[in-house]
Amino acid sequence: MEKLISFFNDIIPLSEKTLSLMGEHFTFDVLKKEDFFIKKGQFAKEIAFLETGIVRAFYVNSSGKEYNKQFFSSPSIIGSYASLISKQSNQVAQQALTDCKIWRAPFHKIEILSDGNYEIERLRRII
């Protein structure tokens, strides 16, 4: 959790109260190499902090050819923001290229926290 806190504080200094609130909603997890954080067609419900490892975002064309859109290396935020905001199904899969340590959080919890906390709202906008 220290790397997550440091990542957030490098973007915008957060009070202990805000860090405590956010800490209640992030849980540690591991993505093994080739595991998906989110697949095409799923509805995004989470975001995650990539503590270690590399994740690729990619799409597949109608002929079945894969195209990498983006690579996320730690430290970074991963998740399908477009799907989270639009409430539409995800179009760009995110898959671990290495074993990854992540901290996941339900996006709706972060949205709720944002409503009453200027620091979290500002952090969301910057990210």
Query: Is residue 28 within a helix (H) or strand (E), and if so which, with residue range?
Result: strand 27-31
Q: What is the pLDDT of residue 10?
A: 94
Q: What is the pLDDT of residue 85?
A: 87
**Tokens linked to 71:** 């690579």
Q: What is the pLDDT of residue 35?
A: 98
Spell out, as residue ranges, where the chain has pLDDT lower than 50.
Answer: none
Q: What is the pLDDT of residue 124?
A: 87
The Cα 56–Cα 84 span in angstroms is 18
Q: What is the pLDDT of residue 1?
A: 86
* Overall size of the chain counted in residues: 127
Domains annotated for the chain, with CATH where assigned, are: 2-126 (2.60.120.10)
**Helix, strand or coil, per DSSP, at residue 64:** coil
Contact of 98 with 33, CB cutoff 8 Å: yes
Q: What is the pLDDT of residue 105?
A: 96
Query: Is residue 102 within a helix (H) or strand (E), and if so which, with residue range?
Result: strand 100-106
Contact of 99 with 30, CB cutoff 8 Å: yes
The Cα 3–Cα 45 span in angstroms is 23
15-36 pLDDT per residue, tens: 999 999 888 999 999 999 999 9
Q: What is the pLDDT of residue 50?
A: 98
The Cα 42–Cα 93 span in angstroms is 9
Contact of 4 with 51, CB cutoff 8 Å: yes
